[in-house]
Amino acid sequence: MISSNDSEIPYSPLLRSNMIFSHEDFHLELLERSPQKPYPLHSHDFYELVIVTSGSGVHFTEHAEYQILPGDVFVLEAGYSHGYSKTEELYLYNIIFDRAILDQTLFDLSKMPGYHAIFNIEPKYRESHEFSSRLRLPSKELTQITERVELLKKELGHRGEGYGSRALALAYFIEIIVSLSRIYSQITLPDSQVINRLAAAFSFIENNSTRTIRIEELIELTYMSHSTLNRAFKKAAGCSPVEYQLQLKVKKACSLLITTNQSITMIAERVGFSDSNYLSRQFKKVMHMSPREYRKTHST
């Protein structure tokens, strides 16, 4: 675990992973700010999950500023410029991670609407919603999440005999994410409902990734028009729902190519392509190489 002393991480306009992570092969750390001091505008090449436990302050970006209070939870993406000001006894946990650590261990996280809401969608809508769509935990839920973070802190900090398990630290991190995802899906603020409906579409695609999803199904699920749905998807994911599903299938094919010895024909069938030729054409569009080239490049 990284020390809470701000002076141990000198200010830099861009904080890099090699300044933060203790291990080259395990990019998960906990930074406990007790308190969080004012900090200038900066960005970083890693992700942060911020959990405010007490006090108050202003979280600002290049274009806006927002008051933060106990219970506020939000994700800061890599490359996102931000800082803190007007802090008054502001205490927070900052769980710092490489997004790849989630991509490698997602399991069924990607099938949870709340996960997409917190990690993929709310950060893209934050400024247009003036931060009103963030998750704010009630006191009971904040206490429960804080208890889980403390368990994560023990594992990352090697505090006590028998602590220091990366596997258990990762398990606690996933447990925190699952709990937050479930809570977000239940909140009823107007701006959060827009995000939750869009998150439901992401989750629906993940849960039905091997079949062709009709746009009408997503329209019915989100109560959005075709044009609104496309705009919302492009804002959150950078592509249309159709392109998102294609990328998801290719991503699953990538995993099977390097973790199994299955034929490309069999992989095409498993991920939902009609035949291996269609897989190869779409794979090359996304990955800029053929499935065979990808398997050869990534073979050990």
> How is residue 105 written in tokens?
């261990």
Q: What pLDDT does residue 137 have?
A: 96
Please give the model's pTM, rounded to 2 decimal places.
0.86
Domains within the chain, CATH numbers bracketed: 6-185 (2.60.120.280), 243-298 (1.10.10.60)
Give the residue-averaged pLDDT of 74-81.
Answer: 95
**For the residues of 23-59, what is the DSSP string, one character each?**
BTTB-EEEEEETTPPPEEEEEESSEEEEEEEEEEEEE
Residue with token string 């991503």: 251
**For strand 72-76 and strand 47-60, is the pairing parallel, antiparallel, or unpaired?**
antiparallel
Is residue 97 within 8 Å of residue 189, measured between CB atoms? Answer: no
Is residue 104 within 8 Å of residue 170, measured between CB atoms? Answer: no
Give the residue-averaged pLDDT of 108-114.
Answer: 88
- Per-residue model confidence as pLDDT tens digits over 203-243: 999 999 888 899 999 999 999 999 999 999 999 999 999 99
Angle at 135 between CA 101 and CA 29, to 5 degrees: 30
Is residue 237 within 8 Å of residue 203, measured between CB atoms? Answer: no
What is the spatial distance between Cα 38 and Cα 85, in angstroms, rounded to a whole number? 5
| Closest alpha carbon to 108 in 246, 237, 206 | 206
Q: What pLDDT does residue 3 have?
A: 46
Residue 132 backbone phi and psi in degrees, to 5: -75, -15
C-alpha distances in angstroms, 252 versus 165, 241, 245, 269, 271? 29, 17, 11, 12, 7
| Closest alpha carbon to 85 in 51, 135, 41 | 41
Beta-bridge partners for 49: 75, 95
Q: What pLDDT does residue 171 have?
A: 93
Q: Considering the chain, what is the average pLDDT of its residues?
A: 90
- Helix H or strand E encompassing 159: none
From the CB of residue 157, how many other CB atoms can be counted at a distance below 10 Å?
A: 17
Give the residue-averaged pLDDT of 261-279.
Answer: 92
Is the pLDDT at 7 greater than 50? The verdict is no
Is residue 199 within 8 Å of residue 114, measured between CB atoms? Answer: yes
- Lowest average pLDDT, out of 89-93, 142-146, 257-261, goes to 257-261
What is the spatial distance between Cα 146 and Cα 51, in angstroms, rounded to a whole number? 9
**Percentage above 70 pLDDT, the chain:** 93
Tell me which amino acid residue 146 is: T
Is residue 94 within 8 Å of residue 48, measured between CB atoms? Answer: yes
